[in-house]
């Protein structure tokens, strides 16, 4: 998995990078939040591990910048800090952080959290795929909406998109209709 690191402390960054590479991850390591933001915009990373307190752009501001983008892909964000406690945890969660670890992170605990990140990212992809599927009646072609009501396909699509319908008949249906109604030439 591709993981972006934002850590201004050189020793911490190198240890984290080596740990993640040893676990088989593709790692992009940056020295601060601004570099991480630029790296994330250039090449999407599904996981970000960021220090909270960094020069130029701190971890919370980096998280908020990522959450404000309209990118349909999701980045799982783990915030590292030497400041634990309930208040800091709640502030990080309110900013959009997915997980929170105190520094220095325990290697086994960090890798376990990355397994959770992989599961969550996989579930998000699955949900996105399922959201793209429409339950449609094989007989009348009505669509079941999110409230379990069946409505005409044209109504549903018009309500949920910018698509507009014009009606006509394909040659096969026209021939069948004309034959069934006895209007065939």
Q: Both 79 and 152 in a single domain?
A: no
Q: Both 76 and 152 in a single domain?
A: no
Please state the domain count of the chain.
2
Asked whether the beta carbons of 101 and 52 are under 8 A apart, the reply is no
Three-state secondary structure call for residue 27: strand
Q: Both 62 and 104 in a single domain?
A: yes
Q: Both 158 and 122 in a single domain?
A: no
Cβ burial, residue 165 (10 Å; 0-12/13-18/19+): exposed
Does some domain include residue 137?
Answer: no
Does some domain include residue 6?
Answer: yes
d(C-alpha 44, C-alpha 28), whole Å? 11
Q: Both 105 and 172 in a single domain?
A: no
Pick the last residue of a domain from 131, 151, 166: 131
Q: Write down the pLDDT at residue 185.
A: 63
Q: Which DSSP letter does residue 173 get?
A: H
Tokens of 168: 């006509």
Q: Both 148 and 127 in a single domain?
A: no
For 28, phi then psi, to 5°, come to -115, 115
Q: Both 26 and 48 in a single domain?
A: yes
Q: Both 90 and 169 in a single domain?
A: no
Q: Both 83 and 174 in a single domain?
A: no
Asked whether the beta carbons of 61 and 33 are under 8 A apart, the reply is yes
Q: Both 127 and 164 in a single domain?
A: no
Q: Both 92 and 121 in a single domain?
A: yes
d(C-alpha 123, C-alpha 34), whole Å? 30
Q: Is the predicted pLDDT of residue 65 greater than 70, yes or no?
A: yes
Q: Provide mean pLDDT across the span 19-42.
A: 96
End-to-end CA distance of the chain: 64
Residue indicated by tokens 């992170």: 105
Residues near 22 by beta carbon (within 8 Å), at least 6 away in sequence: none
Which structural domain range is residue 159 located in?
A: 143-181
d(C-alpha 39, C-alpha 53), whole Å? 18
Neighbours of 27 (CB within 10 A): 20
CATH number at 23 reads 3.40.50.2300
Q: Which DSSP letter does residue 172 get?
A: H
Q: Is the predicted pLDDT of residue 42 greater than 70, yes or no?
A: yes
Q: Is the predicted pLDDT of residue 10 greater than 90, yes or no?
A: yes
Tens digit of each residue's pLDDT (9 = 90 or more) over 127-184: 877 777 778 888 888 888 777 888 888 888 888 778 787 778 888 888 888 888 877 7
């Amino acid at each position: 998995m591709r993981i972006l690191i934002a850590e201004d402390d050189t020793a911490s960054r190198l240890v984290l990078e080596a740990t993640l590479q040893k676990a088989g991850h593709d790692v992009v390591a940056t020295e601060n939040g601004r570099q991480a933001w630029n790296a994330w915009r250039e090449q999407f990373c599904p996981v970000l591990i960021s220090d909270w307190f960094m020069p130029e752009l701190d971890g919370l501001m980096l998280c908020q910048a990522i959450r404000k983008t309209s990118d349909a892909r999701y980045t799982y964000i783990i915030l590292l800090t030497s400041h634990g406690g309930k208040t800091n945890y709640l502030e990080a969660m309110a900013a959009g952080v997915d997980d929170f670890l105190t520094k220095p992170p325990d290697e086994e605990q960090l890798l376990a959290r990355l397994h959770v990140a992989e599961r969550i990212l996989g579930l998000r992809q699955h949900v996105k795929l399922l959201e793209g599927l429409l339950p449609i009646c094989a007989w009348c072609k009505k669509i079941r909406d999110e409230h379990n009501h069946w409505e005409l396909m044209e109504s549903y699509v018009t309500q949920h998109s910018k698509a507009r319908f014009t009606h006509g008949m394909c040659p096969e249906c026209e021939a069948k209709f004309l034959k069934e109604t006895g209007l065939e030439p």
